[in-house]
Amino acid sequence: MSEPFSPGSVTKQLDNCTYCPKMCRHACPVSTASGRETHIPQAKMDRLNQIRLGRSPWTQETTDPLWACTGCRHCTSYCDHDNEPGMVLFAGRAAAVAKGITHPALTNYSERFRAREERLSAQLKAAFPERLATTGEIGLWPGCDAIDKGTADIAAAFSVFERVGLDDVKLVDAPQACAGYPLLAAGHRDLFRWHAGRVAASLRGFRKVAINCSACLYALRAQYAAEGVNVRPEIVAVADLLGPAANNLACPVGSPEAGARRSVYYHDPCYHARYNGVMDAPRRALGQLVEVRELAWNRGDTECCGGGGLLPKTMPMVADQMAKRRLAEVHATGGGLVVTSCATCAFMLKRNAPASVEVADLATAMAQLSGTVFSAPTVAATDDD
């Protein structure tokens, strides 16, 4: 991320957007869900620009639209200038936080983040003590939402890894549970830099680390380097492990045992599709077991589920509405199974799914569709941050 408001970078983008005839307004899932003109990308960027230029004061009220963004990058896909409103608005949040202004829902966020880290790290150790390691060939970093709300998905991932011959995957044993993307989204850039250094040290003993959170994968690959933090192992998505190995599962495409193949929708997490380039691997993995059906907005044009940018904290009803919109077309065509490859997306879509729609994490879907047995420790899900 560029320095907030440094000449020639962020300021140029803010000026471009201020004078733009709103070319990307249709692409923002937040403004579409909220129905508010102040939430379209052009209006949010103009608001930040007016504050930067001193035409508007830094207050909680004036900065409120900065929090109406998941960083999903869909606006960038339709911008002739390749502007990045998501990252610029996050920089604006950091500037606001530096002035002591934050969203009311994120009061004391740094302390809450640290407390959650401690709780989830202990929870992971208690749930999977035999799988923990500090060194090894491949480490699995489930991500905080998976530990908090998806321990069954973690158990399923290990069952599938073993089934496809990936026997050398270990859970990363670390005092941290999250790679830190929420700190960036909350505007705590200094704390993110400090946290990134600690996470990088925890990952150092592995050759490769697979992560099941699309936003933290982006943070580890791009934002750590931007903050001068070196990450030693190769960082990949869980889907990147499963994609090449999935042909070792039973009933591959075309086999007599496969019989009539079920068709299953795949939801592209926006950070995977537009930042990480993770689109083919999950389809390849899932395609060994089912026919993969596409949602109307897919791949690089996917729509955010509402889970990014801390929107579930700052605008929970809008975030839930985004997830409902994402699943509406599945419901309209009779329902079915929707699979995704990010713990946050899985949580958001599950909690907003109509009765006709089932949502599953990629590893869990692959385990269930291939008859791979797994059992998970019972852990009570929470919704704090």
The residues, any chain, with a CB within 8 Å of residue 173's CB and separated by 6 or more, are: 125, 132, 133, 134, 202
Q: Does 312 bind ligand SF4 (CB under 6 A)?
A: no
82 vs 111, which CB is nearer to ligand SF4? 82
Q: Does 71 bind ligand SF4 (CB under 6 A)?
A: yes
Task: Tell me which of 1, 10, 17, 183 binds ligand SF4, using CB under 6 A.
Answer: 17
Q: Which stretch binds ligand SF4 (CB under 6 A): 70-78, 206-214, 292-300, 321-329?
A: 70-78
Task: Tell me which of 1, 4, 5, 28 binds ligand SF4, using CB under 6 A.
Answer: 28
136 vs 306, which CB is nearer to ligand SF4? 306
Q: Closest approach of Cβ 91 to ligand SF4, in Å?
A: 13
Nearest one of 130, 176, 136 to 154, comparing CA atoms: 130
Q: Which stretch binds ligand SF4 (CB under 6 A): 75-83, 94-102, 224-232, 357-365?
A: 75-83
Nearest one of 173, 341, 152 to 242, comparing CA atoms: 341
Task: Tell me which of 23, 98, 250, 251 binds ligand SF4, using CB under 6 A.
Answer: 23
Q: Does 73 bind ligand SF4 (CB under 6 A)?
A: yes
24 vs 146, which CB is nearer to ligand SF4? 24
CA 190 to chain CA mean position, Å: 21
Q: Closest approach of Cβ 379 to ligand SF4, in Å?
A: 31
199 vs 213, which CB is nearer to ligand SF4? 213
83 vs 214, which CB is nearer to ligand SF4? 83
- Site for ligand SF4, residues 76 to 95, rule: CB under 6 A: 78-79, 81, 83, 85-86
Q: Does 344 bind ligand SF4 (CB under 6 A)?
A: no
| CA distances in angstroms from 258 to 238, 275, 290, 363, 375, listed in the order given | 24, 35, 9, 19, 24
Task: Tell me which of 34, 49, 63, 70 binds ligand SF4, using CB under 6 A.
Answer: 70
Which residue do the tokens 């192992």 mark? 233
Q: How far apart, in whole angstroms, are the C-alpha atoms of residue 54 and residue 70? A: 26
Q: How far apart, in whole angstroms, are the C-alpha atoms of residue 219 and residue 376? A: 28
CA 343 to chain CA mean position, Å: 7
Q: Are 356 and 332 a contacting pair, CB within 8 Å? A: no
Q: Does 47 bind ligand SF4 (CB under 6 A)?
A: no
66 vs 369, which CB is nearer to ligand SF4? 66
Task: Tell me which of 10, 20, 169, 264 binds ligand SF4, using CB under 6 A.
Answer: 20
Q: Does 74 bind ligand SF4 (CB under 6 A)?
A: yes
Q: Does 27 bind ligand SF4 (CB under 6 A)?
A: yes
The residues, any chain, with a CB within 8 Å of residue 10's CB and separated by 6 or more, are: 2, 3, 4, 88, 91
Terminal Cα-to-Cα distance of the chain (whole angstroms): 24
The residues, any chain, with a CB within 8 Å of residue 298's CB and separated by 6 or more, are: 266, 268
Residue 327 tokens read as 């699943």
Q: How far apart, in whole angstroms, are the C-alpha atoms of residue 8 and residue 62? A: 24
* DSSP one-letter string for 298-326: -GGG----S-STTHHHHSHHHHHHHHHHH
Which amino acid is present at 369?
L
27 vs 238, which CB is nearer to ligand SF4? 27
Q: Are 44 and 85 a contacting pair, CB within 8 Å? A: yes
CA 207 to chain CA mean position, Å: 23
Q: Does 214 bind ligand SF4 (CB under 6 A)?
A: no
Q: Which stretch binds ligand SF4 (CB under 6 A): 39-47, 118-126, 143-151, 349-357?
A: 39-47
Q: Does 313 bind ligand SF4 (CB under 6 A)?
A: no
Binding footprint of ligand SF4 on the chain (CB under 6 A): 16-17, 20, 22-24, 27-28, 30, 41-42, 44-45, 69-75, 78-79, 81, 83, 85-86
